[in-house]
Amino acid sequence: MAADSLGVYIHIPFCVRKCAYCSFYSSPADETVRQAYTEALCRDILSYGGRGLGCDTVYFGGGTPTALESGQLIKILEVVKTAFDMDSDAEVTLEANPDSAAPEKLEALRAAGFNRISFGVQSLDDRELSALGRLHDSKKAIVAVKNARAAGFENISCDMMLGIPHQDTASMLATARGLTGLGISHISAYMLSVEEGTPFFEQGIEVDDDRLADMYLALCEQLGSEGFEHYEISNFAKQNRRSRHNMRYWQDREYLGLGCRAHSFFEDRRFFCDEDIKTYISSVSHRLTVSEEHPDRLEEYILLGLRTSDGISFERLKELGADEERLQRIRECAVMLESHGLCRFSGSGFSLTEKGFLSSNSVIAQLELC
Amino acid sequence: MDKSKIRNFCIIAHIDHGKSTLADRILELTETVALRDMENQLLDNMDIERERGITIKARAVRLNYHADDGQDYVFNLIDTPGHVDFNYEVSRSLAACEGAILIVDASQGIEAQTLANTYLAIEHDLEVLPVVNKIDLPGADPDRACNEIENVIGIPAMDAPRISAKMGVNIREVLERIITDIPSPKGDDEAPLKALIFDSYYDPYKGVIIYCRVKEGHLKAGDTIRLMATGAEFQTVEVGFMGATDLIPVGELHAGEVGYIAASIKDIGDTRVGDTVTNAEFPCEEALPGYKKVNPMVYSGIYPADGAKYPDLRDALEKLLLNDASLSFEPETSVALGFGFRCGFLGLLHMEIIQERLEREYNLDLITTAPSVIYKVNLTDGSTVFIDNPTNYPEPALIAGAEEPVVNAHIYTPPEFVGNIMELCQDRRGTFKDMKYLDENRVDLHYILPLNEIVYDFFDALKSRTRGYASFDYELKGYEPSKLVKLDVLLNGETVDALSFIVHVDKAYARGRKIVERLKENIPRQLFEVPVQAAIGGKIIARETIKALRKDVLAKCYGGDITRKKKLLEKQKEGKKRMRQLGSVSVPQEAFMSVLKLDE
């Protein structure tokens, strides 16, 4: 297999405040810890140096990466460039919170090579934002996007959320229109899921699936009419503005996750760093937990490929080891799904429709059982 | 040993009237079981029996008793099932005994099933020794119970021992009365061997263990025995007695004794309960009269939830058959459920017990179909067919007339529940025959009921309408013409063969309605809308719709954590695998089970 360049994911596990729906690993921390973590992260990154590994996407995710100072973020990016052979047109994404995105900070980061920014806006309705426990209001969010543009970011993405308490289809569509009106090129729309251990779970907040489904389809229609391509279950992009880093996940390509609790798919293994912040800072070599060795590429191709509008091709299924009999069963299943409006055939394969995306768990399970 | 010192007896009692407790007290008093081995209700050694407080399988135990006359006696206590479904097992236990202890609850009096079993004992020429139990209860009225025994059964009972098995009161009196009232066995030790098989089970080390009552002759290890029904011959490896906790090998078994035979018998099909064992070299001329063979009355399809477990299910059924000759089964194939067995049972409880034993003792996960009785269908060409599987019910155009089995049912109840019971029987298409007062507190209600109306959930309905006070017994009366139809269930427009059943035309609509409602509740949403219909012939009589699944998606992929998604997917795939795929509809096991008890 020809050496593919990597995607590098950098995990910044800090948050100023934890949101009411979040079950992800993050914690508030003082400046000393943040600096120590930055240094540990740099050491971790450098340990991959000298191996001639290429990299064409870098993604700073969290937590809240902008909880770090711009100098710290820039330092980390410099170290990534040292350790990896980075493409000149690499996509370098930074997740940011609207409330930690001052103009000077954004300018410095842009100048240092960050070229894509993804804001966790979630909603432009203040009542919904406070229900989520976000620190920003809608005004701050709009200002943050404008500042990013002023700082030279052309590739701006915003996250929005469906199923927020108090939200209805109208307010959700108002958020979508508000965001597209700012001229952004990418939207990630996630449906709220109430996870155990979160305040939402404790409060007994429930999300009605039928209502969510209606909202989702309404959003798809709205964004489609504004020229956004619905290229993945939760992602919409203007032309050529798909998230190249996230596409790696769906295309089953390799990525290295660095930082505590970051996940990797590298050298035919899926693993993650199973350490908390304190341990991560103090360890010389990190404890990596392998979650999967030699994952079944055929099953992954179906699972991941069908999340995208590119879908899956019969040719590729065959390359990955599906025999004629299985191909035939998959084809028959797809024909059945098509008759219910859940998938559509292209010349070489098939992909899920938006209705199919909505029930993709069951659809994919059924196809994988073929 | 001296036959005059042997007593072979069984105990007849209604559920909860204290049979197992009395047996335990007898075991204690004869010091058959060391105290440390003593567990409550020792004789019932299956989990299900203990939980339900009933005895399903006949078991036997040998006891030594030092009597008041200074002599030592040997008692063989042979356990009997109390329930109406198990007449067959009762009769095989009775055939091994000379006497029966009839236990009657001093507060409740005689129950319907007790009566049936007592008549069976009298038919077998057994001496019946009545015992009035639970005299310690506040509501106990021993005089009334004795009167009832004399009036209803017609045997003298005023001098019946009055005991409390629970408190251990007057147990010794029962033991003494066993010696004086129950005759000792007869038989000639030197005659050719004649031994009656009344139970057997498979032991992984010794092969089949036969429990038998030696009627004539004697038997020792090394003898070659012949099983007269099959003609199969085996060399005896070991003979002995049944201790309360262990088998006790002994040199010889003689006429009048109860014991076991181990002869390295591998094929469970060779030993049939009711068969006669004889000596191959000095055979007896003719076999003992076999038991009255009872035929299954209720049939149901049993399928493994996981199709790959079919051979396991077959093995399990074969093993159960060894201990339960009243069970019958043959392979059956269903479009919906794949490979399974059509099983015949004596009644509904028998069916439930077999299913539970398959699940518990053999670790099988089962899908069963609605119980069916045997319908007699007269065809237009003049021939007659018997149908025990709704799938095989002929097309309406070919049917000249149909008949269904009906039973004579006796329900014993306190008078205040008569109204409720009559309503229930009416609802179950019953015909009232008569009503008799056994005494001022108990009524015998006699109804003719179609068997297919009681195989579903009649027991449960009766219990809930009488707060558990009524008891019930029935016997097959014969066949009567009936307006029957076959009701089909369609999922997504396709008939599901395993869900079809035969029903009286007047009840078809209501039952069809209930079934589609149940299925709607128990089949999860699918990727598309699924109509659930009930139909007679081609005509739809009820319909529900299972709505399409709208949202089932894991939206976010946190920092490339694909594993989480894959775990979810694996779980989902496992769930789907456990379901039956009917066309493009996935149906869980619970959906099939949900239609079995519709009146809950």
Bridge partners (DSSP) listed for residue A27: A14
Q: Do B563 and A270 touch (CB under 8 A)?
A: yes
Report the chain A residue with the minimal C-alpha distance to residue B564. Answer: A291
Would residue A287 count as lying in a domain? Answer: no
- Say whether residue B565 is in contact with chain A using an 8 A CB cutoff: yes
- pLDDT of amino acid B38: 42
Placement of tokens 């797809």 in the chain: A334
- pLDDT of amino acid B291: 56
Placement of tokens 């842009």 in the chain: A110
Bridge partners (DSSP) listed for residue B341: B302, B331
Question: Rounded to whole angstroms, how far apart are CA atoms A236 and A217?
Answer: 13
Q: Please indicate, yes or no, whether residues A243 and A315 belong to a single structural domain of this protein.
A: no
Placement of tokens 């427009």 in the chain: B493
Which of A250, A266, A296 corresponds to the end of one domain? A250
Segments forming the whole domain that contains residue A42 = 6-250
Which of A250, A265, A295 corresponds to the end of one domain? A250
CB B240 within 8 A of CB B62: no
Would residue A284 count as lying in a domain? Answer: no
Residues 6+ apart with CB under 8 A from A125: A138, A164, A166, A167, A171, A174, A175
Question: Rounded to whole angstroms, how far apart are CA atoms A332 and A353?
Answer: 17
On average, the pLDDT of chain A sits at 93
Q: Please indicate, yes or no, whether residues A203 and A127 belong to a single structural domain of this protein.
A: yes
Interface of A with B in 197-226 (CB under 8 A): 209-210, 212-213, 216
- pLDDT of amino acid B466: 85
Reported ipTM exceeds the 0.90 cut? no
Residues of B in contact with A340 (CB under 8 A): 527-528, 548
Question: A46-81 pLDDT, tens per residue?
Answer: 999 999 999 999 999 988 999 999 999 999 999 999
Q: Do B527 and A264 touch (CB under 8 A)?
A: no
* Residue B397 burial (10 A CB sphere; 0-12, 13-18, 19+): exposed
Question: Rounded to whole angstroms, how far apart are CA atoms B313 and B365?
Answer: 9
- Say whether residue A301 is in contact with chain B using an 8 A CB cutoff: no
Q: Do B562 and A9 touch (CB under 8 A)?
A: no
- pLDDT of amino acid B81: 59
Would residue A131 count as lying in a domain? Answer: yes
Nearest to A366 among B560, B561, B576 (CB): B576
Bridge partners (DSSP) listed for residue B416: none
Bridge partners (DSSP) listed for residue A186: A157, A237
Q: Please indicate, yes or no, whether residues A319 and A185 belong to a single structural domain of this protein.
A: no
Mutate one of A264, A269, A338, A366 to test the B interface: name it (highest B CB count within 10 A): A366
Q: What is the pTM of this model?
A: 0.72
Would residue A223 count as lying in a domain? Answer: yes
Beta strand pairing call for A255-258 and A6-12? parallel
Q: How many CB atoms lie within 10 A of CB A204?
A: 7
Question: A236-287 pLDDT, tens per residue?
Answer: 999 999 999 999 999 989 999 999 989 999 999 999 998 889 999 998 888 8
Residue B117: closest CA among B128, B108, B107, B109: B128
Identity of the residue numbered A187 = I
Q: Please indicate, yes or no, whether residues A52 and A120 belong to a single structural domain of this protein.
A: yes
Would residue A53 count as lying in a domain? Answer: yes
Number of Cα atoms under 13 Å in the Cβ half of residue B545: 5
Residues 6+ apart with CB under 8 A from B581: B587
CB A132 within 8 A of CB A97: no
Return the sign of the alpha-carbon dihedral for residues A149, A152, A155, A159: negative
Would residue A68 count as lying in a domain? Answer: yes
Q: Please indicate, yes or no, whether residues A19 and A164 belong to a single structural domain of this protein.
A: yes
Interface of A with B in 91-120 (CB under 8 A): none
pLDDT at A291 over 60: yes
Question: Rounded to whole angstroms, how far apart are CA atoms B533 and B516?
Answer: 6
Question: Rounded to whole angstroms, how far apart are CA atoms A354 and B273?
Answer: 66
Which of A207, A235, A250 corresponds to the end of one domain? A250
Q: Do A213 and B565 touch (CB under 8 A)?
A: no
Q: Please indicate, yes or no, whether residues A96 and A179 belong to a single structural domain of this protein.
A: yes
Interface of A with B in 339-368 (CB under 8 A): 340, 342, 357-366, 368
Strand segments (E) across B440-507: 442-450, 471-482, 484-491, 494-495, 501-504
Report residue B268: phi and psi, to 5°. -65, -20
CB A153 within 8 A of CB A183: no
- pLDDT of amino acid B292: 56
CB A272 within 8 A of CB B561: yes
Between these two residues, A26 and B173, which has the higher pLDDT value? B173
Nearest to B558 among A24, A300, A358 (CB): A24
CA distance B340 to chain A (A): 24
Question: Which CATH number fits the domain that encloses residue A97?
Answer: 3.20.20.70
CB A169 within 8 A of CB A158: no
Q: Widest CA span of chain A, in angstroms? A: 60
CA distance B542 to chain A (A): 24
Residues 6+ apart with CB under 8 A from A354: A216, A217, A220, A230
Helices (H), A292-353: 297-305, 314-319, 324-339
Annotate B567-581 with b (16+ C-beta within 10 A) or e (fewer): eebeebbeebeebbe
Residue B405: closest CA among B470, B484, B520, B337: B484
Domains held by chain A: number: 2
Q: Please indicate, yes or no, whether residues A327 and A246 belong to a single structural domain of this protein.
A: no
Return the sign of the alpha-carbon dihedral for residues B451, B452, B455, B460: negative
Q: Do A233 and B553 touch (CB under 8 A)?
A: yes
Residue B241: closest CA among B8, B555, B530: B8
Report the chain B residue with the minimal C-alpha distance to residue A60. Answer: B559
- pLDDT of amino acid A254: 92
Would residue A57 count as lying in a domain? Answer: yes
Question: Rounded to whole angstroms, how far apart are CA atoms A182 and A226?
Answer: 13
Cis previous bond, A63, omega within 30: yes
Question: Rounded to whole angstroms, how far apart are CA atoms B280 and B228?
Answer: 10
Q: Please indicate, yes or no, whether residues A131 and A10 belong to a single structural domain of this protein.
A: yes
CB B296 within 8 A of CB B328: yes
CA angle A245, A249, A251 (to 5 degrees): 100
Q: Please indicate, yes or no, whether residues A223 and A322 belong to a single structural domain of this protein.
A: no
- pLDDT of amino acid B290: 64
Q: Please indicate, yes or no, whether residues A27 and A104 belong to a single structural domain of this protein.
A: yes
Placement of tokens 């009243």 in the chain: B326
Residue B341: closest CA among B362, B374, B363, B312: B312
CB A90 within 8 A of CB A58: yes
3-state helix, strand, coil in chain B (%, to 5): 30, 35, 35
Strand segments (E) across B375-521: 375-379, 384-387, 399-413, 431-439, 442-450, 471-482, 484-491, 494-495, 501-504
Q: Please indicate, yes or no, whether residues A202 and A78 belong to a single structural domain of this protein.
A: yes
Question: A80-115 pLDDT, tens per residue?
Answer: 999 999 999 999 999 999 988 899 999 999 999 999
Q: Do B555 and A336 touch (CB under 8 A)?
A: no
Would residue A128 count as lying in a domain? Answer: yes
Report the chain A residue with the minimal C-alpha distance to residue B529. Answer: A340
**Tokens for B272?**
């049939």
Residues of B in contact with A246 (CB under 8 A): 557
Q: Please indicate, yes or no, whether residues A66 and A215 belong to a single structural domain of this protein.
A: yes
- pLDDT of amino acid B199: 81
Q: Do B568 and A361 touch (CB under 8 A)?
A: yes
Q: Do B551 and A303 touch (CB under 8 A)?
A: no
Question: Rounded to whole angstroms, how far apart are CA atoms B64 and B483?
Answer: 59
pLDDT means per 10 residues in chain B (600 residues)? Answer: 92 78 81 49 46 49 90 87 57 86 89 79 90 92 90 88 91 94 94 90 84 94 92 94 84 94 84 87 86 75 91 91 79 91 85 87 90 94 94 92 94 91 95 89 91 83 82 86 95 92 93 94 93 94 94 74 84 84 86 76
